[in-house]
Structure 1
Amino acid sequence: MRIQRAILCLTTVMTCGTASVAVAQLRICEWNVTNYSNNLPDSRDAAFRAAIYGQFEGRALAPDVLVCQEFISQASVNAFLSLLNNAPGSPGDWAAGQFVNGNDTDSALFYRTTRVDLLQVATIAVGGPPPNQPRNTMRYLVRPKDYNANAAILAIYSSHMKAGATSEDQARRALEATRIRANAETLNPAYHFMLCGDLNVQTSQEEAYQVLVSSQTNDTGRFFDPISTPGHWNNNCAFQFVHTQDPAGAGGMDDRHDQILMELSLLDGQGLAYIGQPGIPYSTTTWNDANHSYRAWGNDGTSCNSSLRINGNTMVGPVIAQALVTAAANGGHLPVFADFRVPAKIDAPVLIDFGQVALDDLAEQTFTVTNAGDVALWNAAGIDALDYTLSASAGFAVPGGAFVEPPGGAGNLHVVSMDTSTPGPKSGTLTIVSDAPENPQWVISLVGEVLGGVVGDIDGDGDVDQSDLGLLLTAWGTCAGDPGYNPSADLDDSGCIGQGDLGLLLSNFGG
């Protein structure tokens, strides 16, 4: 069902969310930091600080999760963590995942502890000499802060595939891609997953890339390009807005090596989801594509086959652009990021008490369903809308249809009614089925009491007296369908008002 809905979303993208970008949304960034570092402190530290937390026209990279490649050692991870926490403008809440020192340079994960919880670090493939892949492939399980459900867990793969164009190079990339997809197939079906990496592919037709994104017999581990921009990226200025490779080297910006790929359920606009229109290709005329939150940070589309534009850079300005060039170290890479919405949360009462109600009187209570996503943490644009339906057990009724409640609102007001046609205590449940992963079925207990339980209490005032006798005699001799027939006076349920009903009333008269 989840895959089918996501496929529908890709074909009807205008219904699957918006492309608005806000600073408080969950931002995940991919960055090959180019051999960080054999010499600590690294001479590029100031440049990294400026590239990450520098601001231009209100824009800053400022990620919540930073997935990196080309770290040399635990000491280098520690040093990078320190620069993240000490950069001007940093919230100072960064932590690092466990570092695994493998065959070559290695991946590292950094995350903001006030925004994300790190649940697991795993090496899913070990690098080595040919024909093996050269470096370890890592998988990090993270979850937005204050969520507990599996449906809020994101598995992030980090990969630095083999560079080069030989058949052996391509085979080693394909091997790593095969291992990543196979591992994704084993994940808990409720999890989301994505790949952040320096893939070192020059065309979407390369085998490794096709292993990741093509349809196979088992598509549970399939990845998708959220900006729908396949092609031959190398030295092709048609893709100048998505190039990431070589902002500082002599070859210039000419490749889309660095990418973020996502599974289908991250692209359906529901729950934890990419902010953008995944079925629309990235713009070929502007970096400021309103259809996507995905960006190659610093690439304003004016640097095809040349080093990154510094003066006049319309995306990041000259200071950040220079910092990115310096951080790239005579070659290197630009960071890539994408923004995500976190799932909706639900809040509603857990008990509705109708109290005591007279027989056949109207019994209604109102209740409010609220999207309780943390607007202070994520802002309203960073939280999914709450989609839900209502149902009630026998004896109670609620409105039908589907309902939507945006985050940060006052909530939707609904009415639940209780059947008062028979006397006695009443109880039941009202169930709210929603897309809030923490409480997909919110159950409200319903209780109440219908008075008028004495046989012969036709007027429902709790006793049998002259008033009830008068009502029965007024309807005397009538049957169901006749003018003047009073079903409340049909005490023996015979369908007619007669001697049997009078006998029952008199037996309780005065009670």
Structure 2
Amino acid sequence: MRIVSYNTAGGPRADSETVLTEIGNEMVGGIAKPIDVLVLQEQTTIAATTAAFKELLNAAYADDPAAVYAQGVLQGGSSGAGRPGVVYNSVTVELIDEVAFGVVNGSAQARQTLRYQFRPVGYGPEADFYVYSNHYKSGQSDTARREVEATALRADADALGEGAAIIYTGDFNIYTSSEPMWATLTGSGAGQAYDPINRVGTWHDNYGFRDVHTQSPVTTARFSGQVTAGMDDRFDFQLVSGELLDGEGVSYIPGTYHAFGNNGTHPFNGELDFMTNTALPTATLTAIANSSDHLPVVADYQVPAVLGVTADTIPGKVIVGADVRWDVTVENAAEVVVAHGADELDYTIETLAGDLVTSISDVDSALGGGNLHSLAIDTATPGSHGGAIEIASTSHAVANNHVAQYAFTNVVDHANPSFDATDDLDIATIDFGVVALGSSTLNRPAALHALESLLGDTAALDLDVIVASGDTVALSTTLTTFAGLAAGEQIDFDAVLDSATPGAFATDLQLEFSDEDLPGEASGVTLMLQLLARVAIGGDADTDGLVSGTDYLAWAGHWGQSAGAWNDGEFNGDGVIDGLDYLVWAENYGTSEQSLLAVTVPEPASAALLAAVLVPLGLRFRRRRGASA
């Protein structure tokens, strides 16, 4: 916050806007910002001069939504030479209260003291600070009256109690720190005042204090009533209570206190805008000299920290062993233009509930982007895991001093595929047995199961890859890859046999599974499925590839049996070994698998040619038989 104390000598005047806007433009310690609190002395009336300063600032910052000025409404009593007033930026500070006190008469105070209670916008009462505006009786012979004012001021300030943040501003009209009123202001007690630049001594006409002098910027009057005599007095001050010197909460920023336009390069006892002055551009120095017979006293104060917390979400469901991190960013969210414009944020992070274990202490400066804390979530076992945390700050007057956040995830066990619904079966065989050559395509039902974990919820199952090898033309399945088979569910499929070709067949299927697509998913679980079948010529009971007398004997030895098997002579699949099975044997007697596999079906043209050759041969054979007869 930029706070200014300014005896305006009854202004504003033509150059006053330049003075105030240049105060806002001046870069001090990396800070340049519009005035936040303008404490005024020698105001004719609140309704006239103070309101005029308010309107002047609002006009100057008409295009800046961050600068909207308001004014105090309490007008203190005065016996002459104006009275205190205040204008403030309502976007950055709130005026909470105004109090006027002090007896005004010819032997006591010349003017009442005004006490303003302010609060930075966005903060709580802990951030309140008090600004006193005083215009002490002038004159070297009026030390007693200034002491009366100082005594009344300290009584009021001490009543605020220990810990009050106080700024004592105004035109003190004092020549030396040995004066009783200075001792009263700086004496011990709750409201003890300190000079933030510790430049105490005899200021009047003292070259050693030329850089802190505030009166007068001219040797020749530039407006009626302007006090002259050149720069030789430190009349204007901002003193502070000790609470504003500890660097905590609202606090004075070292190195920012100065008399605006004075860096000690002007002529001693001369005019402020003399060409040797390097403090500001000459035009600004001239505006200061033209506007009042006092220099504004400017100081910057840090605001308290603001606790800002951003907590990322975590997946609502993960798999055992997943690396789950809950990213929580804690930042000092104070709205300032430089980092040292706000108090540092001291904070802790502690667990409130759940199995998330954390205990963190850290610090963040404003504008630093915050500190990222990556909190590990326990995923070692299935179940609900995570926790609630509290981020709390112990920084003085911090805004939003504690925040609670929570994050939980459901940890599930790995998926478990099986060929059995109740047992963990990773290897299975489907054997068609012996099947007659030329039977219709045969199907055998089968299923894959996603087993449920005994430890808790279970991830869904994905079948990612099917690798088939062996006799894949004869033996195959209808199984395809899939995703998301819930635990406790199954996928049905068929094993398929094509019996068009005789022989012993085997197909091996390697099934590669993974968990559903969740953090912590695992792959590489493999199940093996083997398909077997023997396609035999009808009547080949011993499946040796030749229909022979041996097969007849097998049939004959089991004649009349029911529920017989192929090897017993049950060839037609009706379950009874009888004459129908004999007919199958008889029809194929002498046939071998080798001969069937060697047969090549001729092309139509070749078949015609073959028939043309065979017909004469057949005729010749018949003639020979006839001849023999």
* TM-score of the two chains, using structure 1 as the length reference: 0.69
Aligned counterpart for 1:315 among listed residues 274, 279, 294: 279
Using a 3 Å threshold, how does the CA distance of structure 1 residues 231 and 270 change in structure 2: closer, same or farther? same
Aligned pair 1:174/2:142, yes or no? no
Shift of 1:314: 0.8
The one-letter amino acid of 1:154's match is: F
Counterpart in the other structure of 1:115 = 92
Counterpart in the other structure of 1:39 = none
Using a 3 Å threshold, how does the CA distance of structure 1 residues 62 and 412 change in structure 2: closer, same or farther? closer
Aligned counterpart for 1:83 among listed residues 56, 80, 94: 56
CA separation in 1, counterparts of 2:369 and 2:261? 39
CA separation in 2, counterparts of 1:89 and 1:310? 33
CA separation in 2, counterparts of 1:49 and 1:93? 15
Counterpart in the other structure of 2:390 = 431
Aligned pair 1:156/2:131, yes or no? yes
CA separation in 2, counterparts of 1:393 and 1:464? 27
Using a 3 Å threshold, how does the CA distance of structure 1 residues 220 and 429 change in structure 2: closer, same or farther? farther
Shift of 1:207: 1.7
The residue correspondences of 1:309-348 to structure 2 (distance < 5 A) are 309-328=273-292, 332-348=293-309
Using a 3 Å threshold, how does the CA distance of structure 1 residues 55 and 64 change in structure 2: closer, same or farther? closer
Counterpart in the other structure of 1:4 = none
Asked if the contact 1:354/1:364 (under 8 Å) is kept, the reply is: no
Query: Unpaired segments of 5 or more residues in structure 1?
Result: 1-25, 37-43, 277-291, 453-460, 466-511
Counterpart in the other structure of 1:474 = none
Q: Secondary structure at 1:321's aligned position in 2?
A: helix
Shift of 1:82: 2.9
Using a 3 Å threshold, how does the CA distance of structure 1 residues 413 and 101 change in structure 2: closer, same or farther? closer
Asked if the contact 2:204/2:232 (under 8 Å) is kept, the reply is: yes
Cα deviations across residues 469-489 of structure 1 (Å, max 9, x unaligned)? xxxxxxxxxxxxxxxxxxxxx
Shift of 1:49: 1.8
Asked if the contact 1:51/1:61 (under 8 Å) is kept, the reply is: no
Using a 3 Å threshold, how does the CA distance of structure 1 residues 418 and 107 change in structure 2: closer, same or farther? same
CA separation in 1, counterparts of 2:279 and 2:303? 26
Aligned pair 1:240/2:215, yes or no? no
The one-letter amino acid of 2:139's match is: G
The residue correspondences of 1:108-507 to structure 2 (distance < 5 A) are 108-123=85-100, 125-145=101-121, 147-166=122-141, 169-187=142-160, 191-214=164-187, 216=188, 219-249=189-219, 250-276=228-254, 292-301=255-264, 302-328=266-292, 332-349=293-310, 355=316, 364-375=325-336, 378-393=337-352, 395-400=355-360, 402-417=361-376, 425=384, 428-434=387-393, 435=395, 437-447=398-408, 462-463=453-454
Q: Secondary structure at 1:409's aligned position in 2?
A: coil
CA separation in 1, counterparts of 2:72 and 2:149? 22
Shift of 1:351: 8.8
CA separation in 1, counterparts of 2:158 and 2:269? 38
More strand by share: 2
Higher relative contact order (CA closer than 8 Å, sequence separation 6+): 1
CA separation in 2, counterparts of 1:235 and 1:464? 88
Using a 3 Å threshold, how does the CA distance of structure 1 residues 58 and 238 change in structure 2: closer, same or farther? closer
CA separation in 2, counterparts of 1:196 and 1:85? 23
Q: Which structure has the bigger radius of gyration?
A: 2
Counterpart in the other structure of 2:37 = 65
CA separation in 2, counterparts of 1:61 and 1:165? 37
Q: Secondary structure at 2:8's aligned position in 1?
A: strand
Aligned pair 1:30/2:5, yes or no? yes
Shift of 1:463: 0.7
Shift of 1:381: 4.6
Using a 3 Å threshold, how does the CA distance of structure 1 residues 393 and 420 change in structure 2: closer, same or farther? farther
Asked if the contact 1:45/1:83 (under 8 Å) is kept, the reply is: no
Aligned pair 1:48/2:23, yes or no? no
The one-letter amino acid of 2:294's match is: H
Q: Secondary structure at 2:185's aligned position in 1?
A: helix
Q: Secondary structure at 1:314's aligned position in 2?
A: coil
Count of equivalent residues: 398
The one-letter amino acid of 2:344's match is: A
Query: Unpaired segments of 5 or more residues in structure 2?
Result: 220-227, 414-451, 457-629
CA separation in 1, counterparts of 2:252 and 2:272? 27
Using a 3 Å threshold, how does the CA distance of structure 1 residues 334 and 417 change in structure 2: closer, same or farther? same
Asked if the contact 2:303/2:342 (under 8 Å) is kept, the reply is: yes
CA separation in 1, counterparts of 2:327 and 2:34? 43
Counterpart in the other structure of 1:103 = 78
CA separation in 1, counterparts of 2:24 and 2:307? 37
Cα deviations across residues 99-135 of structure 1 (Å, max 9, x unaligned)? 4141232101011223322222211x23411432221
CA separation in 2, counterparts of 1:275 and 1:343? 12
The one-letter amino acid of 2:298's match is: F
Asked if the contact 1:152/1:191 (under 8 Å) is kept, the reply is: no
CA separation in 2, counterparts of 1:171 and 1:97? 30
Asked if the contact 1:52/1:61 (under 8 Å) is kept, the reply is: no
CA separation in 2, counterparts of 1:34 and 1:198? 11
CA separation in 1, counterparts of 2:156 and 2:256? 27
* TM-score of the two chains, using structure 2 as the length reference: 0.57
Instruction: Please identify, of 220-229 and 443-452, the stretch whose mean Cα deviation from structure 2 is larger.
Output: 443-452
Asked if the contact 1:311/1:317 (under 8 Å) is kept, the reply is: no
The one-letter amino acid of 1:405's match is: D
Shift of 1:366: 2.5
Cα deviations across residues 46-65 of structure 1 (Å, max 9, x unaligned)? 12122222489965895221
Instruction: Please identify, of 232-241 and 176-185, the stretch whose mean Cα deviation from structure 2 is larger.
Output: 176-185
CA separation in 2, counterparts of 1:315 and 1:340? 21
CA separation in 2, counterparts of 1:450 and 1:325? 74
Cα deviations across residues 36-94 of structure 1 (Å, max 9, x unaligned)? 4xxxxxxx621212222248996589522110111112222233333333348985732
Using a 3 Å threshold, how does the CA distance of structure 1 residues 261 and 157 change in structure 2: closer, same or farther? same
